[in-house]
Structure 1
Amino acid sequence: MHIFILIFLSLILPTTSVYAGDMQGSRDHPEIPRVAGSEIIGFEYNEYDAANFLKADASTKITLVNPEGKRTRILYLAKAGDKPLMVQKNYATALRQLGNANEIYSCKNTGCNRHLLATTFWTRDTMVPTEGLTHPFYLLGFSHTFTSPAYRYIDVTTDSARYHVGVSAVVIAANNSNKKFRERTVMLVEILEVSNFEATLEFVDASEMQQQIGESGHVALYGIQFDHDKATLRPESNETITEIVKALKSDSALQLYVVGHTDDVGSLTYNQDLSLKRANSVVKSLVAAGIEDSRLTALGVGPAAPVSSNDTETGRAKNRRVELVKQRTVD
């Protein structure tokens, strides 16, 4: 696999060493290598934050998704001669080597909405702290300050972690007010490590669902994931949905309450409404897979039935879940 990287620009593995020219206090992400010859001119790390990634919905409209977790943003200046598409090839290859990589969205050149890229990733409120820039906002803050954009958003699952990675690579315009960076390629790399990945790893197959429902009357599912503050099911939920369908088809008498749960961040009314909408999304997905809607009842209880403390993010992650609860059969 390493041979393929060398075909392009090659990447260098992150180390604890500080590279010449790197912003003071910055560092590579421990799992995502930099393109060889590049240097860090902007950096920000947050132990817990919501990230920004672009994707296309079913109607091809570009939307923003905001998963939460450990967030790293790095602004790299590529070496002279490197181009955005070449850079993107390297990152795509590196992410495939890291784990199971699923490309969610990508665009290049005229296929990218340059105004959207600028307003999503580099406003006065969203730009990362930088070093060596005379006018940081003008580097990427307007669509006319850069050319040849290429963007890629990839979800990567490894044996021990799940990462959302967005790479925005552009050429700084020849008339940019940051003179020393004119006509050079910069890469804004955003990495979000899902903080509750340990919970999502608790995959429950159909037989385990049946066993837990038979023993305790319910089963908690962490493999069902939603977009941040929305009821939209993420693609990684499909495997668990498939197992629910198997369990229901193997026991035609089984009827379930599909119960949505949230943490207690936000108002009670908001969380109750969100939990019900999420439960309904699961029900709709199961019905679309061939399960009779008469066997399913959606309920939303918001934060009313926690399984852990809401005082920590680890606890809140455990409280955000969907449960299947067996309905009593009336004789």
Structure 2
Amino acid sequence: MHTHVTFSWRAFVKPLLAAAGLAMIMPSNASAQDLLKRVKNAVQSEVERQVEQEARDAARCALNGSNCRPNGTGQQSASGGGEGGGGGGGKGDHPLITPYQGSVLEREDRQDFTDYNRVIGMDQKRQAVVQRVEGRLTKLLYRNPEGRSTLELERNYKSALAARGFRIDYDKGGIVHWMGDIRKYNGMTAYGQDVRYFTGKLKYNNGTAYVSILVYREGSGFGRTNIHVLETADMDVGMVGVDPSAMAADLERDGQINLQGIYFDTGNYALKPESDPALDNVEALMRLQPQLRLTIIGHTDSTGDPRRNRRLSLDRATSVRNSLISRGVAPDRLSVVGMGSEQPIATNSTADGRANNRRVMLVRQ
């Protein structure tokens, strides 16, 4: 197999020409010739170094697959900023995140609308706990600059994102024991022993951006950074209902949460399919906290017969319990109560008030 190496001479011709011009105006011919000779030697040395680097990169890309972009023809990140934010500029970069200076984009995958399994934790069996989110997905894979540790790369990405209001939901280093599970769920590339991962979210373009970053380094020193960004179309309403980490925080603070994203038809206790994301995240919460036990309390508005409303609220709470059990939650960790319309949190004289009163609460036992 022959590898074609592309190389730009322009950057090295300029200093050579400048030195030649300087030599013409120097008073000492010997000094001028000496300067010109030194510049030529320096340029030749740099050219040889760059050609050797290009050959190594091209060979590595050939081994890694057709999507890999050698340094000479790919999206080499431009210099800019300091250690943390400098880099990027390649057309494949995501506008939210500037890659670390010296990183090279090797692979990208973009989908206008799809679902994505965001890894938000690890259960007692060392299996990934995931949150399913939907929206515009960008997956980027960068080759790390030489001589940079995973800790340095990770901290710089965190700092840059924090400046934009990023909130970390899950942060884990030394995840070699379950990185294969990460690949299964979200397709991140991860090899070697030095692996760091974090995920979180921030407000972005009138919506929410979920960002997951995994940095790894192999024993040979070679490494990559995975950057996955899932953008929702609209600002998430009731983040407690879609985010296990926020649910856990509210339970810890208040002992209960109003579970958003649970849907029933009027007068019916069968869960609608659009309730699945909220239920998936309750199941994820239960896996993250294996000692947690919950009471599921159903509430209705005051429309109709009070006895029928109490029964309907109990049936709805039972539907939520059964759905969680079908997802793997142990039955003895869940109990149900139906309150009917006895505990309103808003007026029943308006449509909005009645909608607020129809709810499902999760209460820590």
TM-score using structure 1 length? 0.50
1:223–1:237 Cα contact (<8 Å) kept = no
**Which of 217, 233, 243 is the matching residue for 1:171?**
217
Larger radius of gyration: 2
Q: Answer yes or no: is 1:185 the counterpart of 2:223.
A: yes
SS of the residue corresponding to residue 151 of structure 2 reads helix
Q: Please name the residue that 2:112 is paired with.
A: 47
Q: Answer yes or no: is 1:235 the counterpart of 2:246.
A: yes
2:168–2:200 Cα contact (<8 Å) kept = yes
Q: Please name the residue that 1:195 is paired with.
A: 233
Q: Answer yes or no: is 1:104 the counterpart of 2:170.
A: yes
Distance in 1, matches of 2:261 and 2:169, equals 31
The amino acid that maps onto 2:181 is: L
SS of the residue corresponding to residue 85 of structure 1 reads helix
2:108–2:141 Cα contact (<8 Å) kept = yes
Q: Please name the residue that 1:162 is paired with.
A: 208
Q: How does 1:134-173 map to 2 (within 5 A)?
A: 140=189, 145-157=191-203, 160-172=206-218
Structure 2 alignment gaps of length 5 or more: 1-80, 284-293, 298-309, 321-353, 360-365
SS of the residue corresponding to residue 193 of structure 2 reads strand
Structure 1 alignment gaps of length 5 or more: 19-25, 128-139, 175-182, 201-221, 228-232, 248-257, 288-293, 303-321
The amino acid that maps onto 1:74 is: L
Q: Answer yes or no: is 1:36 the counterpart of 2:98.
A: no
The amino acid that maps onto 2:246 is: P
Q: State the identity as a percent.
A: 13
1:54–1:65 Cα contact (<8 Å) kept = yes
1:276–1:298 Cα contact (<8 Å) kept = no
1:102–1:156 Cα contact (<8 Å) kept = no
TM-score using structure 2 length? 0.46
**Which of 230, 247, 271 is the matching residue for 2:273?**
271
Distance in 2, matches of 1:37 and 1:275, equals 39
Provide closer, same or farther for how the CA distance between residues 285 and 89 of structure 1 changes in structure 2, counting only shifts above 3 A: farther
Q: How does 1:69-84 map to 2 (within 5 A)?
A: 69-84=135-150
Distance in 2, matches of 1:157 and 1:115, equals 30
Distance in 1, matches of 2:143 and 2:246, equals 33
Q: Please name the residue that 2:242 is paired with.
A: 226
**Which of 115, 123, 131 is the matching residue for 2:180?**
115
Distance in 1, matches of 2:96 and 2:150, equals 21
Residue deviations 1:270-308 (CA, integer Å, cap 9, x gap): 728859969x99xx6786xxxxxx896574899xxxxxx
Residue deviations 1:225-274 (CA, integer Å, cap 9, x gap): 236xxxxx55169779x99x899xxxxxxxxxx993289xxxx9772885
Provide closer, same or farther for how the CA distance between residues 237 and 298 of structure 1 changes in structure 2, counting only shifts above 3 A: farther
Distance in 1, matches of 2:248 and 2:192, equals 37
Which structure exhibits the higher relative contact order, with contacts defined as CA atoms closer than 8 Å and separated by 6 or more residues? 1
Q: Please name the residue that 1:56 is paired with.
A: 121
SS of the residue corresponding to residue 356 of structure 2 reads strand
1:98–1:158 Cα contact (<8 Å) kept = no
2:118–2:212 Cα contact (<8 Å) kept = yes
Provide closer, same or farther for how the CA distance between residues 272 and 44 of structure 1 changes in structure 2, counting only shifts above 3 A: closer
SS of the residue corresponding to residue 51 of structure 1 reads strand
The amino acid that maps onto 1:12 is: G
